[in-house]
Structure 1
Amino acid sequence: MDVPHYACLKMKMPGTKDIITMSGDYKKSAACAAASSRLSESLVIAAERKLLDRVVAMASKQPDLSPDPQESEPQGPFQPAKETKKIPLDPNHPDRHAIVGANLDSK
């Protein structure tokens, strides 16, 4: 049942006899906003540093990989099917096609 007004730093709510009004402090509000901004910035920096460390570790384990993903061999558990066929997606653009397994059912 309370009604906050963030621009004025006021909050009103019904009391037992009258309306209760609570006022905030602009200086304290600005200090809290600055502190939370610094905290969130440090958390983002820590997360980005962790991701960068992971990328560097992965790159040092596989230094012979090309930066171009087209030149590298497929990695991971999924391997392309040995027998494939191209299915045209748009008759007006023959370069737009899907590659599917040649032994798939027509359904």
Structure 2
Amino acid sequence: MVVPHYAYLMMKMPGTKGIITIAGEYQKSATCVAASSRLAESLVIAAERRLLDRVVAMAGTHPDLSPDPKESEYQGSFQPAKETKKIPLDPEHPEQFAIVGAHLDSK
């Protein structure tokens, strides 16, 4: 039941003895926005730096691999179970199926 008024930095809500109004401070709000903007920018820079380091390392150790790290993520270490079975999703379309472990419970 809270109504925020972002332009006025106020929030109003019903109380037992009438409307409760909470006011913010413009100076503190501007300081928080600037700090969070710097934090977000530093996190993005750090993530991009890790990604770049990974691409450089991959290019140095495996020159035949694609330098695109997104492509290499799909070549992960996931291996399916040794015994699997195909479950048809639609009897009219046998080319549509799911592969599940052969020893899964029917529930």
* TM-score normalised over the length of structure 1: 0.58
CA contact (8 A) 2:10 2:21 kept: yes
For the residue of structure 2 that corresponds to 1:8, the secondary structure is: coil
Cα deviation for residue 65 of structure 1 reads 7.1
Mapped partners of 1:53, 1:16: distance in 2: 58
Q: Does 1:3 align with 2:3?
A: yes
Higher Cα radius of gyration: 1
Mapped partners of 1:17, 1:37: distance in 2: 39
Mapped partners of 1:34, 1:18: distance in 2: 35
Q: Which runs of 4+ in 1 moved over 6 A?
A: 64-67
Match of 2:92 in 1: none
Match of 2:56 in 1: 56
* CA displacement, residues 45-103 of structure 1 (integer Å, 9 cap, x when unaligned): 00000000000001111346798xxxxxxx9xxxxxxxxxxxxxxxxxxxxxxxxxxxx
Q: Does 1:19 align with 2:16?
A: no
Residues 35 and 60 (structure 1), Cα distance of their counterparts in 2 relative to 1, 3 Å cut: same
Q: Which amino acid aligns with 1:28?
A: K
Cα deviation for residue 23 of structure 1 reads 0.4
For the residue of structure 1 that corresponds to 2:8, the secondary structure is: coil
- Structure 1, unaligned stretches of length 5 or more? 68-74, 76-106
**Identity percentage of aligned residues:** 77
For the residue of structure 1 that corresponds to 2:16, the secondary structure is: coil
| Number of aligned residues | 70
